[in-house]
Chain A
Amino acid sequence: MSSLALIGRDIRLASRGGGNTFLAVAFFATIVTLVPLGIEPVAGLLHAVAGGIVMLCSALAALLSLDNLFQADFEDGSLELLVTGPLSLESLAASKIAAHWFTTALPLLAISPLAAIAMDLPGAGLVGVVLAVALATPAVSAVGAIGASLTLSAKRGGLILPLIVLPLLAPVIIFGAGVVRSKLEGAENGAVLYLSAFSLAAVLLSPFAVAAGLRTNLSA
């Protein structure tokens, strides 16, 4: 109930331009459509790099809005109020991760077919891109939230967020690109399974790390 209220509030805030949803989506669309300009638009070449590019771009786009995940609430005093509520820090963290997924990852998922089209991927590749983004984004939100909670009281936290989070997300990028590749080639390579497993583990475990990070930044 409390969690739903919090997620609902964040969605409402995002719909009124309070979050960085628009920024993330616009960034993703721009960068994904600009990449082919830097590469010879030969179908084979684009197909080979599509998976990796799409995964990296969606992770970077999600990071843009992750900076603000706790920062906004921290700065205006809302975080103290949320903490004095009935939720444990772990549930609070899980709710914020879910809210980030709804406000950033879902819009990214919605425009991911655009990326597939820009990369000149046929039907199967398009399915692969959407599937990869759908399975990868929960892990991006969860692991990214760890970084956001750790850089909460840092002055230029947003700048080092990618440095902290991206290496931890290497498996997501590798497996996500693998999903696209397997759909393109029509060959099963286990990437869907590995990516799902990583996302599941990240979503289950990271609330504890996020809670520890929040505890540090609130009470130390």
Chain B
Amino acid sequence: MLQRDINFSVSSGEILSIHGPNGAGKTSLLRAIAGLLEVPDGCIAFRLHPHDIIANPEERIGMVGWLGHQDGIKGELSLRENLQFHCRYNRCFGSVQDALASLGLADLQDLPAQYLSHGQRRRLAFARLLVNARSLWLLDEPLSGIDSRGKACVRQHIQRHCEMGGIAVVAVHEPLGLKSASLELQ
């Protein structure tokens, strides 16, 4: 459930990290921003240009780069096929090879994804963001289960994404380790 009286805005180039104990509504807030969850009495809007404001959840939903609690990986498909599908589905042409390589998964790319460890799956899910080229990233615990080298790699990608004008809203239960605005949920 979402708690009352949450107010925030994030602009291009910024990272917002959302903290709070389990059950505080971090995931719900991310889902609400994405347009996956209805907010009966509240308003969430994306401003693309000064006069182009999008508040309708069904329009918002097609604009976010989503990394949910679950990885959304098909075990029967290889790593490359998993990414290639999302690439085609989202009509993007980011390089699957580069994305896999930059997260240290290049050697595994032809294996079925079901052989991956938890941390590797998380990295593969993160790689999806790199091929999809959305400017607003909504990340639910992107670091969970990933080893320290992988964590550094993910942090670096978030940092670079925002330096290039993107936005990242990240729900975390441990400190993110990046310079970011922070929102504390009770």
Contact = CB atoms under 8 A, between A and B. Distances in A.
B138 to A, nearest CB: 9
A2 interface: yes
With a 10 A CB-CB cut-off, give which of A8, A75, A219, A220 has the most chain B CB atoms: A219
9 contacts: A1-B91, A9-B89, A16-B77, A76-B72, A80-B66, A80-B72, A85-B90, A86-B62, A219-B38
Interface string A65-91: 000000000011110111111111100
Interface of A: 1-2, 5-6, 8-9, 12-13, 16-18, 75-78, 80-89, 218-220
A82 B68 CA distance: 12
B90 A218 contact: no
B25 to A, nearest CB: 15
A89 to B, nearest CB: 8
B72 A81 contact: yes
Contacts of A17: 76
B77 A80 contact: no
Interface in B112-166: 128
Contacts of A219: 36-38, 57
A12 B62 contact: no
A13 B36 contact: no
Given A2-B88, A5-B85, A13 B66 contact: no
Contacts of B76: 12-13, 16-18
A70 B70 CA distance: 15
A185 to B, nearest CB: 46
A77 B68 contact: yes
Nearest to A77: B70
A83 B88 contact: no
A13 B112 CA distance: 12
B27 to A, nearest CB: 11
Interface centre among B64, B69, B74, B86 (most CB of A within 10 A): B74
A77 B69 contact: yes
Nearest to B134: A84
Contacts of A13: 74, 76-77
Nearest to A2: B89
B74 A78 contact: yes
Contacts of B75: 18
Contacts of A76: 70-74
B61 interface: yes
B77 A12 contact: yes
Contacts of A6: 89
A78 B34 CA distance: 15
Contacts of B77: 9, 12-13, 16
Contact of B86 (A16, A18, A81): A81
A12 B81 CA distance: 10
Nearest to A220: B38
Given A18-B75, A85-B86, A86-B91, 11 more contacts: A8-B85, A13-B76, A18-B76, A75-B70, A80-B72, A81-B86, A84-B36, A218-B36, A219-B36, A219-B37, A219-B57
B11 to A, nearest CB: 21
B58 to A, nearest CB: 8
Nearest to B125: A77
- Best-buried of A6, A75, A77 by chain B (most CB within 10 Å): A77
A75 B68 CA distance: 12
Nearest to A6: B89
Which 9 A/B pairs are nearest by Cβ-Cβ distance?
A77-B70, A77-B72, A5-B88, A16-B76, A18-B76, A78-B72, A5-B89, A84-B66, A81-B72
Given A76-B70, A219-B36, A1 B64 contact: no
B62 A81 contact: no
